[in-house]
Amino acid sequence: MYKLCDNPLGIYEKAIPNKFDWATKIKIAKAAGFEFIEMSIDESDERLYRLEWSKEKRLYIKEQLHKKDMYINSICLSAHRKYPFGSKDEKVRQKAYVIMDKAIELAKDLGVRNIQLAGYDVYYEESDETTKKYFLEGLQYATKKAASANIMLSIEIMDTPFIGTITRCLEYIEMINSPWLQIYADVGNLSQWTSDPFIELEKGIHHIIAIHLKDTKPGQFKCVPFGEGTVDFVRVFNKLSELDFKGPFLIEMWADNTKDITFEESVAYIEDAKNHLIEKAGELFNVG
C-alpha cells in the first residue's frame, strides 16, 4: 500500500504564479501540503539567468527551504528545447553544453538530487540521423559530468514522438549504459503516445526514478485540468503499487499568470489538484 511518506509528493514551480518570489513560492507549497518543489530552468531569459545566480543567492534559496523544511528535489532543465544538444548549429550545441555545466553546478549548490533533461534531439529544427547523433554525444557528455558531481540525470518522457514512450527512452538509456542516467516518466505524455501506458511503466520500472502526474487529452499536453483529461490515474496508481514504485511523484500543472491570484488562492489551486489525485489513488495514498 502506498503511503505519502513512502512516495514524496512535490509540486512544479510553474503551478505557482510567477509574481511570487521564491520565499513565497516555498510557503505556498508547504501550506498546500507538499514536500518539495521542482525548479524550472526553461528557455526564457528570466529562468536561464538562474544559472548565473551568485553564491549568496543560492545560499538564500537554501535558507528559505530550510525554514519551511522543504527542498528542491529536481530541476526541469527544458532550456535545451531552444538550445538542444542535437542542433546542427555548432554555436547552439556549444550553448547546450554550457547550460548543462552550469545546471550541474547550480544543482550542487542547491542540494538538488536530479536534473531532468528534455527528451528532444531538436525541437525547432528538423530531426534526422545527424541531430540524433549529436543528441547522443550530448547525453554522453552530460552523464559523465553529472556522475562526477554525484547528481542523477533523468530523461523526461516528452510531448513529441521522439521520446514519447518509455520504450523509445530505453534505447538511449541502454546506449549510455550508466547508473547516472535514468527515466523521469510523465504519465500524461505517456498516455497520449501509447495505447497501453501500464505496460510501458512495467517495462521501464527499474529505470524510473520519478514520475510526473499530469492530465492530458488527445492533442493537448499542457494545462488540462485534472479530471478533464483522459489519463486513467486509478490504473496508473494501481500499476505503480503492483510494481512497488517508491520514488517521488511530482504534480505538473500551470498557474494562470494573466490573473492576479492571491496567496490563499494559489494554495487552494494546488491543494485541490493534490486532493483530486489522492482521491483517485484511494487506499493506495494513505495520508493519515
Residue 107: predicted pLDDT: 98
Residue 83 lies in a domain: yes
Q: What pLDDT does 4 receive?
A: 42
pLDDT of residue 287: 40
In a domain, 98, yes or no: yes
Amino acid at position 140, single letter: Q
Question: What total number of domains does the chain contain?
Answer: 1
Block means of pLDDT (10 residues each) for the chain, 288 residues, are 66 98 98 97 97 98 97 98 98 98 98 96 97 98 98 96 96 97 97 94 97 94 91 93 94 96 98 92 55
What pLDDT score was predicted for residue 5?
Answer: 45
* DSSP assignment string, 239-266: HHHHTT--S-EEE-----TTS---HHHH
- Whole-number Å distance between alpha carbons of 264 and 200: 38
Q: Is residue 4 part of a domain?
A: no
For residue 120, tell me if it sits in a domain.
Answer: yes
| Distance spanning both ends of the chain, measured CA to CA | 13
Q: Is residue 108 part of a domain?
A: yes
Residue-level pLDDT at 282? 73
Quick one: pLDDT at residue 1? Answer: 39
Residue 3 within a domain: no
- CATH number of 274's domain: 3.20.20.150
Write out the residue range of the structural domain in which residue 218 sits: 9-284
Residue 31 domain flag:
yes
Quick one: pLDDT at residue 281? Answer: 83
Does residue 209 lie within any of the structural domains?
A: yes
